[in-house]
């Protein structure tokens, strides 16, 4: 029992140390690849860009579509989680309650899929990046590793794929279309979207102005 306890204690120590090293490293260094990318049978198309080279419309679009309280919460939106649980209990379209911080933690350090173990690790890494990276770096990493299409990662690669120009100059409509694709990038299209994707994109486009007016992106552009 003593040996087992020591082994568990050492494992926990090494995990904490390794996770801290990775989080500190990626505060300054672009994330080279993620588990999602490696496991993607469609290949990888990506192009890392500094947040300074990504149009503000894109930042505001993901806040509008994914996480309206991004600048207010500390990584977890309890209200959104409770609403998602209540909604999903009724059946129909599954709604997620993850923040941009949680999605970034999952995309960079973990794998896709559910399970309490993975969610626990996600919470740990979310806590770390919130306290070590800060909001601006979280947003920068998120916009560079999020899947924006089949085999396509990051908004720069997404902008080139869909609109044939850089993410440095995206109209509100273009940014909203990319943001609308993010929840299901393999099943939704940013070009000539139809049905729910088109309606969702139009809603995000309208909310971009609200994000700007209400300063919901103030933690990034202070």
Question: What are 144-155's pLDDT values in tens digits?
Answer: 999 999 999 999
pLDDT over 90 percentage in the chain:
79
Which of 43, 9, 179, 186 is closest to 112 using CA atoms?
A: 186
Q: Residue 78's pLDDT band (boundaries 50, 70, 90)?
A: confident
Query: Residue 151 maps to which CATH number?
Result: 1.10.3810.10
pLDDT at 85 over 70: no
Residue 219: inside a domain, yes or no?
no
Q: Point out the least confidently predicted range of 55-64, 163-172, 194-203.
A: 194-203
- Whether 202 contacts 176, CB under 8 Å: yes
Whether 95 shows a pLDDT value over 90: the answer reads: no
Backbone angles phi, psi at 130, to 5 degrees: -65, -40
The two structure tokens encoding residue 51: 């947040």
Is residue 115 a part of any domain in this protein? yes
68, part of any domain: yes
pLDDT at 114: 76
| Residue 199: per-residue pLDDT | 94
The backbone region for 98, taken as left when phi is positive above 0, alpha when psi lies in -120 to 50, beta otherwise, is beta
Dist CA 34 CA 171 (whole Å)? 29
- 155, with CB counted inside 10 A (0-12, 13-18, 19+), is buried
- Reading the block at residue 9, the tokens are 């204690």
The 8-class DSSP code of residue 27 comes to H
* Number of domain units in the chain: 1
| pLDDT band with cut points at 50, 70 and 90 for residue 222 | confident
Q: Which has more pLDDT, 131 or 114?
A: 131
Phi/psi for 94 (5° steps) reads -70, 135
* Model-wide pTM > 0.85: yes
Yes or no: say if 169 and 56 are a contact pair by the CB < 8 Å rule: no
Q: Does 221 reside within a domain?
A: no
pLDDT band of 192, cuts 50, 70, 90: confident
The parent domain of residue 40 ranges over 2-213
Is 30 part of a structural domain of the chain? Answer: yes
- Span of 98-107, 148-157, 181-190 with lowest mean pLDDT: 181-190
Q: How far apart are CA 139 and CA 133, in angstroms?
A: 10
Residue 218 covered by a domain: no
Task: Spell out a b/e string for 48-83, using b for 16 or more CB atoms within 10 Å of the CB, else e.
Answer: bbebeebbbbbbbbbbbbbbbebbebebbbeebeee
CA 222, CA 220: separation in Å to the nearest integer? 6
Q: How many angstroms from the chain centroid is the CA of residue 162?
A: 19
Q: How far is CA 107 from CA 163, 172, 210, in A?
A: 24, 25, 28
Q: Does the pLDDT at position 92 exceed 60?
A: no
What average pLDDT does the chain have? 92
Q: What average pLDDT does range 125-138 have in this prediction?
A: 98
Stated as kind and residue range, the H or E segment containing 45 is strand 45-46
Model confidence over 149-184: pLDDT tens digits? 999 999 999 999 999 999 999 999 999 999 999 989
126 found inside a domain: yes
Judge whether 222 lies within some domain: no
**Confidence band, pLDDT 50/70/90 cuts, at residue 35:** very high
């Amino acid at each position: 029992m003593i040996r087992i306890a020591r082994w568990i204690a050492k494992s926990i120590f090494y995990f904490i140390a390794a996770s801290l090293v990775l989080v500190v490293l990626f505060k300054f260094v672009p994330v080279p690849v993620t588990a999602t990318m490696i496991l993607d049978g469609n290949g990888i198309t990506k192009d890392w860009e500094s947040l300074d080279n990504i149009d503000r419309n894109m930042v505001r679009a993901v806040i509008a579509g994914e996480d309206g309280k991004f600048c207010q919460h500390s990584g977890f939106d309890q209200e959104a989680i409770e609403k998602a649980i209540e909604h999903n209990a009724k059946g129909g379209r599954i709604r997620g309650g993850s923040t941009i911080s949680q999605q970034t933690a999952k995309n960079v350090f973990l794998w896709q899929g559910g399970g309490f173990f993975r969610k626990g690790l996600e919470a740990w890494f979310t806590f770390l990046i919130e306290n070590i990276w800060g909001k601006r770096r979280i947003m920068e990493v998120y916009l560079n590793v999020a899947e924006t299409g089949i085999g396509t990662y990051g908004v720069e690669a997404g902008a080139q794929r869909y609109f044939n120009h850089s993410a440095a100059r995206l109209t509100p409509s273009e940014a909203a279309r990319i943001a609308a694709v993010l929840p299901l990038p393999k099943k939704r299209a940013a070009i000539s979207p139809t049905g729910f994707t088109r309606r969702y994109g139009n809603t995000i486009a309208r909310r971009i102005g609200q994000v700007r007016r209400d300063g919901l992106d103030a933690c990034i552009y202070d």
